[in-house]
Structure 1
Amino acid sequence: MRNDSLDIVHGAASFGLACWQGAPTAMTVAHRHDDLEFNVSPGALDYLVDGRSVRIPPRTLAVFWAARPHQLVTDASRSLVSWLTVPLGTALGWRLPGGFVGGLLAGGFALVSERPGLELADRVSLWAVELASGGEERRAAGAEIEGFARRAALAVAGGRESAPTAESGRAIRPDAAAMAAWITEHAGDDVPVADVARHVHLAPQHAMTVFRRALGITIGEYLAQCRVARAQHLLLTTELPVPEVGHAAGFRSQSQFYARFRERCGEPPAAYRRRLRP
């Protein structure tokens, strides 16, 4: 994922409908943005997503909901990686088949082998120019991207996608990854630092240092990211009243819930729900 600052698009932190190619180094900070992320690389890529290690095999299209804390841990500076981001609201409006978006919101990570119609690397350069041009060219690119996403969804619905693997050559400490995964699993509960540290048999102060050095953010910041992502999921997939969503996501006060949600999504929870579930 690109390392520059996020734009605020339709009130939510998002890269917008965009695509690009580059040779990224490993990310020093776990981050999130409210898009579906598609990427493909000529070499394998290793990600840490919700604390889980996920390997993307070479020449395999990967798709996931990037509101979940994620971090590229592979140094791909000698590869040409291709990315496409689609704002969640746009993807929901496309009504993609097979419950594709719903599966991603629930934590799915789709991997689809490259095939005719799904060659992202061959399309990125043209789409990037057309999207930047605006007008009819942008509309043409948007229609092609929708078709691309629809073909990816059909491939997943047809059961032809490969499964992500947990083994990788990632350059991140196993105890930091284990802490991140434990925090994600328990984000709806009280999560004292002492409990996180105990899970990996470290002293609390040392655990906080290890975590920050590996993921670039504090345990508290990572926990807030996980809880906001969980709240987004509940707002879009349930009828729970907004205050109950905050509690179910792990926030112990409504003021904290509203502040954290607005800080990361650019709008209050109710407005987010109305915008994406009109």
Structure 2
Amino acid sequence: MSDDVDASAHGARSFGLSCWQGATAAMTVAHRHDDLELNLSPGSLDYLVDGRAVHIPPRTLALFWAARPHQLLTDASRGLVSWLTVPLGTALGWRLPGGMVPRLLAGGFALVPAGPGLDLEGRVGVWAAELAAGGEARRAASAEIEGFVRRAALAASEPGAGESAVSAGGGLRPDAAAMAAWISEHADEEVRVDDVARQVHLAPQHAMTVFRRALGITIGEYLAQCRVARAQHLLLTTDLAVPDVGHAAGFRSQSQFYARFRERCGEAPAAYRRRLRP
């Protein structure tokens, strides 16, 4: 597939240091934003992240890098889910313990029981009000959030903590999930609609329809999201020259690499690397 896909970013570049709590329906669109995301639900949640089905048990704190295309499959409209987002640049500055950030940048999805000190739902309301108030209240909330995320990183590095990947439930067609997973795995290659459709034994036109209805975006848009996320990872974890990063991420045109990256990250690749790397 050529890189000249729809330019829609499908999601904020970053939600900033933010937290909220509320009921939520299943997401109709796979999206991405450059934050560490933490969430906690009284009931179980199922996500599709990079085409992988990830199951979060009830009362389990989940941490992941939300720049990777993800979609909540569970209808949680009858419960209160608690959310916390931390901009990646902020998280990098905290130098979290346990190798947490490199693990998340590589696609890890950390799950830890919401034990003492990790009860996100009990803090969200206070933090949200203090963050909105600004000044000393915001600084106090920011310090507490850093401590909370540090405790979560420590808990995630302990034996027994880890990831849980299962088959997606009724929230997504299996063939759509399989196509998303194949696209993510092969994003650095020359990917065509025919190649994607062949993996699930569908006609190309039908495959495009199935994919868009399931994930809310086109195959081309999803491919671009995967390639940009891969480029972000390479910029932060390797010393590859910027043009080589674009090629390694799957972009066959440097102009398309720069255009897609700026659309989704708000700055050029070199500026992104300078801002976030020590």
TM-score range relative to shorter protein: over 0.9
Shift of 1:167: 3.3
What SS does the aligned partner of 1:225 have? helix
Q: Does 1:235 align with 2:209?
A: no
Match of 1:262 in 2: 262
In 2, are the aligned partners of 1:46 and 1:170 still within 8 Å (CA)? Answer: no
Match of 2:36 in 1: 36
In 1, are the aligned partners of 2:51 and 2:177 still within 8 Å (CA)? Answer: yes
Shift of 1:160: 3.8
- What one-letter code is carried by the residue in structure 1 that aligns with 2:247? H
Match of 2:21 in 1: 21
Separation in structure 2 between the aligned mates of residue 210 and residue 163 of structure 1, nearest angstrom: 28
Separation in structure 2 between the aligned mates of residue 32 and residue 176 of structure 1, nearest angstrom: 18
What SS does the aligned partner of 1:79 have? strand
What SS does the aligned partner of 1:235 have? helix
Match of 2:4 in 1: none
What SS does the aligned partner of 2:187 have? coil
Separation in structure 1 between the aligned mates of residue 141 and residue 116 of structure 2, nearest angstrom: 18
The two structures have a TM-score, normalised by structure 1, of: 0.95
Which structure 2 residue ranges, 5 or more long, are not aligned?
A: 1-9
What SS does the aligned partner of 1:231 have? helix
Distance 1:59 1:182, change over 3 A: same
In 2, are the aligned partners of 1:37 and 1:86 still within 8 Å (CA)? Answer: yes
Match of 2:70 in 1: 70
Separation in structure 2 between the aligned mates of residue 274 and residue 104 of structure 1, nearest angstrom: 20
How big is each residue's C-alpha offset from its partner over 1:143-184, in whole Å with a ceiling of 9 and x where there is no partner?
000000100111112224143131342411000000000000
Separation in structure 2 between the aligned mates of residue 253 and residue 113 of structure 1, nearest angstrom: 44
- What one-letter code is carried by the residue in structure 1 that aligns with 2:264? R
Separation in structure 2 between the aligned mates of residue 236 and residue 171 of structure 1, nearest angstrom: 33
- What one-letter code is carried by the residue in structure 2 that aligns with 1:104? L
Report sequence identity in percent: 78
- What one-letter code is carried by the residue in structure 2 that aligns with 1:159? P
Number of residue pairs matched?
Answer: 269
- What one-letter code is carried by the residue in structure 1 that aligns with 2:105? L
Match of 1:164 in 2: 164
Match of 2:103 in 1: 103
How big is each residue's C-alpha offset from its partner over 1:91-124, in whole Å with a ceiling of 9 and x where there is no partner?
0000001110000000000000011100000000
Structure 1 stretches of 4+ moved >3 Å: none
Separation in structure 2 between the aligned mates of residue 165 and residue 34 of structure 1, nearest angstrom: 22
What SS does the aligned partner of 1:78 have? strand
Aligned counterparts, 1:83-98, within 5 A: 83-98=83-98
- What one-letter code is carried by the residue in structure 1 that aligns with 2:263? E
The two structures have a TM-score, normalised by structure 2, of: 0.95
Separation in structure 1 between the aligned mates of residue 163 and residue 237 of structure 2, nearest angstrom: 24
In 2, are the aligned partners of 1:33 and 1:67 still within 8 Å (CA)? Answer: yes
Separation in structure 1 between the aligned mates of residue 69 and residue 28 of structure 2, nearest angstrom: 13
In 1, are the aligned partners of 2:108 and 2:163 still within 8 Å (CA)? Answer: no
Distance 1:168 1:247, change over 3 A: closer
- What one-letter code is carried by the residue in structure 1 that aligns with 2:87? P
Which structure 1 residue ranges, 5 or more long, are not aligned?
A: 8-12
Aligned counterparts, 1:48-67, within 5 A: 48-67=48-67
